[in-house]
């Protein structure tokens, strides 16, 4: 089984991304094949991981995909590699709000049977670092903290004080890193600026991270720790395999309901009491005996996607082609369906609006009934306008930037049959945005949110499914199959 390390921290802002990315870059430069992973739903850090390793960055989210898929998804991504480096999320023991250890770095480290390296921001402490590390190491005996990397160390004297304090803790110091402005990565309203928006600068920053880690960490001790991880004993996830959680089939209408709609109380209900209805037709074109072509939006404006989505679409029989809405004036020839994921269209609203030929092509495809799956940024792009700039006009809604951050996990149920799911399908996702769209839901909503609050959200019309909710299709492979089948019609 592949050697592996989990890079965690007591809290956000301690330097996990710098250390994890630096380790990936340093070990890759040494000749190892390194598999990059990120705990949680974040899309941006994996872009830097990919730049450091030359491999797709992959997420391990136990809330969206379930704890039982963490090891199989890890094994799938790490297949053929010498080493896997897993960057944690938030503080080591922080997980989904109100759900204990679920989706925490600690939980994932246990599911992967992986040793943890704790990155500690030592900038404002000396002897206290020992108490902090002792507390984290003893909190959960099933979490194996195999070493510490001291970050933001001020001087040689400061480093000596920190190392002396750590001598009685029983956790070895595997590195000490000084403050280094050259490894800093610019941030904005949703975190780090994605790699795709600063390619040359990002390359330089990742190289600097690798050099800093190489110079300040004991790479031999770190790889020895990684190789001490026991066999995982799991079968790698395969995109062609059936889901361990098959989607619920639509129930027949309750007796006495001539309309064929769900009887109130006989099926999952949206908060407002809107019945979930099955049987809506999914429009498409006749199958010409060819593999359907799915166009996936990319480029600087649409950088959020999970690697498994395209793998699932390909396994479902689709050919996947990426296009850039900032540059390409037409959809790829033969497009049968469209996936528009998350990103930062608000940063490129004028440029997206100026590409009128593509906006018209997207609207025409949507009007034809072709399957269109849009998440967050994709939702904004399909709207009538974004910050006053004309968008595709597929949805009778307008979007704008907001000062309020919407962030968190959600549990949702499909309200109607649509291009992604049958009515009644439950899945988990997350929201992460500083925009609002008005109205927030169409006559046929995409989802009924059932946790943590109760509301309807998003839009379903013909083959279009547009929503703020980010989902991970590895939890529901039938979503990709259904979408690909719709593209073939």
Supply the DSSP symbol for 261: S
CA nearest to 308, candidates 61, 489, 80 = 61
Three-state DSSP class for residue 250: coil
The answer to whether the beta carbons of residues 218 and 175 sit under 8 Å apart is yes
Please identify every residue annotated as catalytic.
376
List the structure tokens of 477. 């492979």
Contacts for 167 with CB less than 8 Å, ≥ 6 apart: none
Cis peptide bond N-terminal to 56, omega within 30: no
Token pair 């510490």 is found at: 148
Angle at 181 between CA 180 and CA 187, to 5 degrees: 125
Distance, CA of 373 to chain centre = 16
The CA radius of gyration of the chain, in Å to the nearest whole number, is: 24
DSSP notation for 110-146: HHTT--EEEEEE-TT-STHHHHHHHHHHHH-TTS-EE
List the structure tokens of 318. 């689709």
Three-state DSSP class for residue 181: helix
Three-state DSSP class for residue 109: helix
First to last CA, the chain: 42
CA 35 – CA 37 distance, rounded (Å): 7
Parallel/antiparallel/unpaired status of strands 470-471 and 426-438: antiparallel
Three-state DSSP class for residue 339: strand
The answer to whether the beta carbons of residues 195 and 48 sit under 8 Å apart is yes
- Counting Cβ atoms within 10 Å, is residue 315 exposed (0-12), middle (13-18) or buried (19+)? middle
């Amino acid at each position: 089984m592949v050697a592996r390390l989990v890079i965690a921290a007591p809290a956000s802002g301690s330097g996990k991304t710098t250390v994890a990315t630096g380790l990936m870059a340093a070990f890759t430069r040494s000749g190892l094949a390194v598999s990059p992973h990120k705990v949680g739903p974040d899309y941006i850090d994996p872009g830097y991981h990919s730049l450091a390793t030359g491999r797709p960055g992959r997420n391990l989210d136990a809330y969206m995909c379930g704890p039982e898929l963490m090891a199989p998804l890890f094994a799938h991504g790490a297949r053929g590699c010498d080493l896997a480096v897993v960057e944690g999320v938030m503080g080591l023991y922080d997980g989904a709000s109100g759900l204990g250890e679920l989706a925490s770095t600690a939980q994932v480290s246990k599911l992967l049977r992986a040793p943890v390296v704790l990155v500690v921001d030592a900038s404002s402490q000396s002897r206290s670092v020992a108490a902090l590390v002792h507390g984290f190491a003893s909190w959960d005996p099933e979490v194996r903290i195999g070493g510490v990397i001291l970050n933001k160390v001020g001087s040689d004297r400061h480093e000596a004080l920190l190392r002396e304090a750590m001598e009685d803790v029983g956790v070895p110091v595997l590195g000490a890193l000084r403050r280094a402005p050259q490894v800093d990565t610019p941030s904005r309203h949703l975190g780090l600026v994605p790699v795709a928006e600063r390619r040359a600068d990002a390359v330089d920053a990742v190289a600097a991270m690798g050099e800093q880690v190489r110079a300040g960490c004991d790479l031999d001790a770190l790889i020895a720790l990684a190789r001490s991880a026991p066999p995982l004993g799991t079968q790698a996830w395969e995109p062609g395999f059936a889901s361990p959680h098959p989607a619920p089939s639509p129930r027949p209408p309750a007796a006495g309901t001539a309309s064929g709609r769900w009887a109130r109380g006989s099926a999952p209900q949206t908060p407002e009491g809107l019945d979930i209805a099955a049987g809506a037709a999914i429009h498409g074109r006749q199958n010409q005996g060819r593999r359907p072509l799915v166009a996936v939006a990319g480029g600087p404006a649409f950088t959020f996607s999970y690697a498994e989505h395209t793998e699932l679409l390909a396994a479902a029989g689709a050919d996947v082609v990426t296009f850039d809405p900032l540059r390409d004036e037409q959809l790829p020839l033969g497009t049968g369906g469209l996936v528009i994921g998350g990103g930062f269209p608000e940063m490129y609203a004028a440029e997206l609006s100026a590409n009128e030929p593509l906006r018209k092509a997207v609207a025409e495809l949507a009007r034809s009934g072709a399957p269109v799956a849009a998440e967050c940024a994709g939702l904004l792009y399909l709207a009538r306008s974004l910050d006053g700039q004309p968008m595709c006009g597929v949805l009778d809604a307008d979007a704008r930037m907001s000062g309020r951050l919407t962030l968190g996990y959600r549990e949702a149920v499909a309200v109607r049959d649509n291009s992604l799911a049958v009515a009644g399908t439950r899945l988990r996702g997350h929201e992460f945005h500083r925009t609002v769209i008005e109205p927030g839901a169409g006559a046929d909503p995409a989802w009924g949110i059932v946790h943590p609050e109760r509301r309807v959200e998003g839009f379903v019309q013909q083959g279009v499914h547009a929503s703020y909710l980010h989902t991970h299709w590895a939890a529901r492979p039938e979503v990709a199959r259904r979408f690909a089948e719709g593209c073939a019609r």
